[in-house]
A and B are shown apart, each in its own frame.
Chain A
Amino acid sequence: MKDHLSSRLAALLLVAAFTGSIFALHQVDRVRGQQATLEELLYIPSGKTLKRLSLGYSGLLADIYWTRAVQYFGQKHHEEALRYDLLYPLLDITTDLDPHLIVAYEFGSVFLSQKPPEGAGQPDKAVALVEKGIRANPDYWRLYFTLGYIHYFDRKDYKAAEQAFEKGSEHPQALSWMKVMAATMAQHAGEPATAMEIWKRLYETAQDGMIRENALQHMAALRVDQDIPELERRIASYRQLAGHLPSSWYELIRAGIVPGVPQDPTGTPYKLMPDGTVQVENPDVLPFITEGLPPGWKKTKHR
């Protein structure tokens, strides 16, 4: 009888104490803040020291640091932060621990190079990371493509981009379009068609769904950025002919200036504004466009 009683009391204590421990842990988390772990890592900012301390398990530690880098980026990106101070140290430590972790160079450099709030806005550090990756993995020619991409889009250094594509194309396993890319870069750098070609190649070669989706969004944005000035030019020419601005796309269709109601890459018709400008219906689904944005429009916070 007494044994049953003590068993029941023990079970009761277990449930009560465990429930209490959850409450206490919540309070501990609240006091320490979400970023406690990530900021603590700066106490050992050297990946080389960490490698020595890892007792040979540096691969495992690199995976943990890479996960932390992704989580840090994800959290900052979600908050639409303008500063990503810990991103580069995290990536540097990760790649010191495992210099062959290609994913850290490929993704990490994109995280670093994109402008805030999409990324850290640190293209020079992104270049340093990819160059480190190339030194450690000279046989992986795709890193040259990543390097060329960063030079082209984020640093606008077309000469450096050309050199990166050229160098990558010299690799025996590199795909033939790397050579074409280098040549295009030499003659048509800065043109939208060149940018479109890079995104197309990235879309075709990337294996990760997120990168492919990103490339698709950039291709869509390039199309919108080309469509809108062209449509506004046609509206201006209609005004010269008719003496007034069109009230709808049908007036332009009847005048033979546009073949049909123009649509953005998502299949939604463009909006013809009373002042003769053109806007996209939903800028949120076309995150990288620079034309056709409603005046004063601000991006909706990430879901």
Chain B
Amino acid sequence: MISRLSAISFNTFREAVRDRVLYNLILFALLLVASAPLFGEISIGLEKIILVNVGLSAISLFGIIIAIFIGIGLVSKEIEKKTLYTILSRPVRRWEFIAGKYLGLLMTLVVNAAFMTLGFYLALIVISRGLGKDDAVLLVGIYFIILEFFIVTAITLLFSSFSTPIFAAIFAFALFVIGTFAEDLRNFAALSTGLTKWLATVAVYLVPNFASLNVISQVAHAQPVSGQLILFNTLYALLYSAAATAGAVLIFERRNLK
């Protein structure tokens, strides 16, 4: 089982790395990170804050775009090219196919994030003339961005398991946007009553909570992130993405591929 999963994952990773769109996005993200010191030039004393905000936002946004645009094609491309039938005719179970695809894309995103982080830290060294103790907290921000990728990849896979690529992209992106406003939804639920409260509370738990994973502003101001938050955010991202991937497996298991 492990060997089948890793074979699918590595293939997915290799395929994604060969994708030209992926390279363009990485190049664009790196350019953005590299030009961050220039943004700092126009606002005195804010170079580092602007660099952190722009750099981490770029890592997050481009990672999410990559996750969605590659994620939507993971299942449909295999069906379109009829390669799925070859894969499933071998001793590969459908859930292994989905889990392998998920892990492969996640691997791609983590490697991308690692390269972008490298570029980001280089830019940071250039403008700060070295790294300080406070800069370690930025890694927590990047770690939370990777946790975002866990969830976005899982929900994209969930939508692509039953929908066309374009709709899967729209659904996944819409859910991402709603998820960034999850705290507003929670505040709304807390202050409403009756049926509205009930519906809003259900929505709070159904929608992925990206708001708590976004600590970019906090780390830009060198404010520490508590260990408990790191622990529970990790737990949340793992469990939510497991639930979404299980949903994708459930749908894919019942899907008629003939």
Contacts and interface: CB of A to CB of B under 8 A. Distances in A.
Nearest to A67: B184
A68 to B, nearest CB: 7
B136 interface: no
Interface in B166-214: 181, 183-184, 186-188, 190-191, 204-205, 209, 211-212
Q: Which among A3, A10, A22, A67 has the highest number of chain B CB atoms within 10 Å?
A: A10
A64 B181 contact: yes
Interface string A62-85: 001001100100110000000000
Interface residues of A, number: 33
Interface stretch (B12-20, B100-108, B233-241): B233-241
A285 interface: no
Interface in A1-36: 2-3, 6-7, 9-11, 13-14, 17-18, 20-22, 24-25, 27-29, 31-32, 34, 36
Given A17-B242, A20-B235, A43-B221, A29 B250 contact: no
B34 interface: no
Contact of B228 (A17, A31, A64): A31
A24 B209 CA distance: 11
Contacts of B134: none
Contacts of B184: 37, 64, 67-68, 71
A128 B235 CA distance: 46
A40 interface: yes
Nearest to B254: A7
Contact of B232 (A31, A36, A37, A67): A31
Contacts of B24: none
B23 to A, nearest CB: 26
B181 A17 contact: no
Contact of A28 (B95, B205, B232, B253): B232
A13 B242 contact: yes
Nearest to A6: B95
Contacts of A40: 217-218
Contacts of A10: 95, 246-247, 249-250, 253
B205 A71 contact: no
B3 interface: no
Contacts of B246: 10-11, 13-14, 17
A24 B239 contact: yes
A29 B221 CA distance: 21
A28 B228 CA distance: 8
Contacts of A75: 187, 191
A28 B94 contact: no
Contact of B243 (A3, A7, A13, A71): A13
Nearest to B151: A21
A75 B190 CA distance: 10
Contacts of B239: 17-18, 20-21, 24
Nearest to B216: A43
A203 B192 CA distance: 26
B93 interface: yes
Contacts of A17: 239-240, 242-243, 246
Contacts of B86: none
B226 interface: yes
B229 interface: yes
A64 to B, nearest CB: 6
Interface of B: 93-95, 181, 183-184, 186-188, 190-191, 204-205, 209, 211-212, 217-218, 220-221, 226, 228-229, 232-233, 235-236, 239-240, 242-243, 246-247, 249-250, 253-254
9 contacts: A6-B253, A9-B95, A14-B247, A17-B243, A20-B235, A25-B204, A68-B187, A71-B187, A75-B187
10 A-B pairs with the lowest CB-CB distances in the bound complex, closest first: A24-B236, A17-B243, A14-B246, A17-B242, A37-B183, A21-B239, A18-B243, A43-B217, A13-B246, A27-B232
Given A6-B93, A17-B239, A71-B187, 9 more contacts: A7-B250, A11-B250, A13-B246, A17-B242, A18-B243, A24-B235, A40-B217, A71-B188, A75-B191
